[in-house]
Structure 1
Amino acid sequence: MIPRLSQEQIVFALAVLLCAGFALSLPGFLTGDNILNLIRSVSILGILGVAMGLVVIGRGIDLSLVALMAVSVAWMLNLVTAGMPLAQAIVLTLAFSLAVGAINGWLIAYAEIPAIFATLAMGTLIYGFGRYFLFSLDVAYLPPGAAPILWLSQGSVLGIPVPILTFAAICLAAHLFLRYTVWGRYLRAVGDNLAAARITGIPTRPVIVLQYVLSAAIGYLAGLVTAASVASMNTRLALSTYVYDVILVVVLGGIGLSGGKGGIRNVIVGTLLIGVLLNGMTIMDIQYTIQNVIKGALLLAAIMIDTIVNPRDEQTAQQGDI
């Protein structure tokens, strides 16, 4: 009897096959330097995938994640440029990011606005607020006063680039949170069955707020790594399709949109597949537009598979989630 494979196992197998195919057809793909650069290049996407994964496990979605990351870190760079000490600027903008995350959670948990609409509106609001009140230019460049954060991109420990170690540390912390903490178990229970969780005495509304605060915090860290990598932050990232790449990593890896299913390992597997795919397409010099078509088709296929594997129940339909 052929054993039934999970989506996670299938995606991992696809990543291995894709890696083998590129190794045979593209010279230099399987070199140590290219593999290290591959993992490094998708580490930011993976960190954002962890943030999104926690929210999706709690039966939510955060379409404001990338916009909040871009605006808060761009504001930090502008504050440092204006003369504010780096540590103070980071604390202030991190607090701003956490506050927006808490507002997202409040709108969803207490005002009972569907997550997809609340976070979509918040992402647009944050970008407009930032461009009008916080900074005047689309791109914020890394000033000399913010040079210490360059270590997040250029540094290494035992020969391993810091972005990879940061991704690994975030994955480990999120895994331990979900598996061994009370609030992590609460989050999974809320995602699995909100009504049952409420009946058993779980503080469901604070748990929903918590997941969006965690998403904002992890997203801010991803923003710091991004700014360190390119010595700037382009706030037009908020208007790009990058957030859908993050959702692609999560759903493709096997975290069900119906909530309560999957874990951080799914994010790692999804990041691995997307990393191999993007790296191979870049080496093959495939146009960016064609890459978007391929990623869009993959996202659609992943959502269709998720719909089959994790069918919507009556409670999910009533909540209005995707």
Structure 2
Amino acid sequence: MSDTSTQSRGKGHWTRHLTQETIVLALTVAMFAMFSFILDNFFSSGNVITLLRSVSVLGMLGLGMAITVIGRGVDLSMVATMVVGIVWSLKLHQSGMDFVTALIIGAAFAIVMGMIIGIIVAYAEIPAVFTTLAMGPVIFGIGNVAFFTEDTHNAPADVEWLRALGFERFLGVPASIYILAASAFLVFLFLRYTRYGRSIYAIGDNMLAARHTGFPVRPMLVGKYVLAALIAFMVGLIFTATNSGINTRLVYTTLVYDVLLVVVLGGIGLSGGKGGVRNVIVGTLFVGVLLNGMTIMNLSYTTQNFIKSLVMLVALIAETMLNPRDEQTSQSGDI
């Protein structure tokens, strides 16, 4: 075998492994090393714990977003569902209801909102990006009118397991990180080994082909948004525990776009049918390190948003180049 063919094969080997995921992982390691070198408090144990806690919320929301994106969709109403569902549960508990019962009612609210979104997307065939963009303010408006008027809502002091959920550590690692790991493992099993999970990939890859094959596409689309809404509610509980409460103004922040950045940056294609839990973890680590570093550098809110938007734009361009849309993909619909 000639040297030229050997070199060509070697280059092909490296090209196959040089994916968006590996590039982002390498950039994350480099960025972490750079921040550790130039920022005095970045590598401190306290800051690493703070970073891990913020990563847990981003990562779990990213898992819910990933399920919708893999199935060629998107859910921009996740944060509104999370906030309204958990705040209503807190208000019900403050009025004298058992906390577990209040959580069940809040989760039921999230499920209903997810069903409404899914029905609009699946049966009215309105693109998910427009449906969820409109439903976010609707969901928050329902909460403001019917459930609460205050901005700040504290976690109940009489629920010991909730306090442990937010502040207990094992081997120095917060409980929320173990919950993220367990959630990632469960979503991995769901997507890889259940028929429903594999069907989400099939629908995302080619919805028309999935329908002609006999998949109940519309009910599965509804179920996908219900699952995302339920995950969002559960993340709201973790957020409340780790922050000793929740502020409804979280809806007005860029959190949902940070979550979308996690998914897109990690390498889950917006064209659907590709990606998985590993991509979410990689994207979560990158965004978590970036946000933490910018916070320690005391960059203004506007500057941080500019940098995140620029990163999002680059990620979208890279995703489009790595996953070009062909004629068959275009005919299958947009998110």
TM-score, scaled to structure 2: 0.92
Distance 2:134 2:163 in 1: 32
Matches within 5 A, 1:195-210: 195-210=208-223
Contact kept in structure 2, 1:81 and 1:145, CA below 8 Å: no
Deviations 1:226-285 (A, max 9, x none): 111222221122222211000000000000000000101000000101111112112222
Corresponding residue to 1:172 among 185, 200, 205: 185
Distance 1:270 1:200 in 2: 33
Segment drifting more, 267-276 vs 35-44: 35-44
Task: Say whether 1:24 aligns with 2:37.
Answer: yes
Distance 1:223 1:111 in 2: 29
Corresponding residue to 1:247 among 260, 266, 270: 260
Contact kept in structure 1, 2:74 and 2:129, CA below 8 Å: yes
Distance 1:14 1:104 in 2: 36
Query: Unaligned regions of 5+ residues in structure 1, if any?
Result: none
Partner of 1:283: 296
Offset, 1:105: 1.0
Partner of 1:124: 137
Partner of 1:267: 280
1:144 aligned counterpart, secondary structure = coil
Deviations 1:144-196 (A, max 9, x none): 34453122211223432111011111110000101111111001110111011
Offset, 1:84: 0.7
Partner of 2:103: 90
Distance 2:80 2:295 in 1: 25
Matches within 5 A, 1:157-236: 157-236=170-249
Q: Closer, same or farther in 2 for the Cα pair 1:28/1:239, shift >3 Å?
A: closer
Larger Rg: 2
Q: Closer, same or farther in 2 for the Cα pair 1:234/1:316, shift >3 Å?
A: farther
Offset, 1:37: 2.9
Distance 1:316 1:235 in 2: 39
Matches within 5 A, 1:66-77: 66-77=79-90
Contact kept in structure 2, 1:86 and 1:145, CA below 8 Å: no
Distance 2:133 2:36 in 1: 39
2:79 aligned counterpart, secondary structure = helix
Q: Closer, same or farther in 2 for the Cα pair 1:250/1:191, shift >3 Å?
A: same
1:220 aligned counterpart, secondary structure = helix
Distance 2:105 2:55 in 1: 28
2:239 aligned counterpart, secondary structure = helix
Segment drifting more, 155-164 vs 63-72: 155-164
Offset, 1:320: 5.2
TM-score, scaled to structure 1: 0.95
Distance 1:237 1:319 in 2: 34
Which residue type is aligned with residue 250 of structure 1? V
Aligned-residue RMSD, C-alpha: 1.6
Matches within 5 A, 1:46-125: 46-125=59-138
State how many pairs are aligned.
322
Task: Say whether 1:6 aligns with 2:23.
Answer: no
Partner of 1:34: 47
Distance 1:29 1:214 in 2: 36
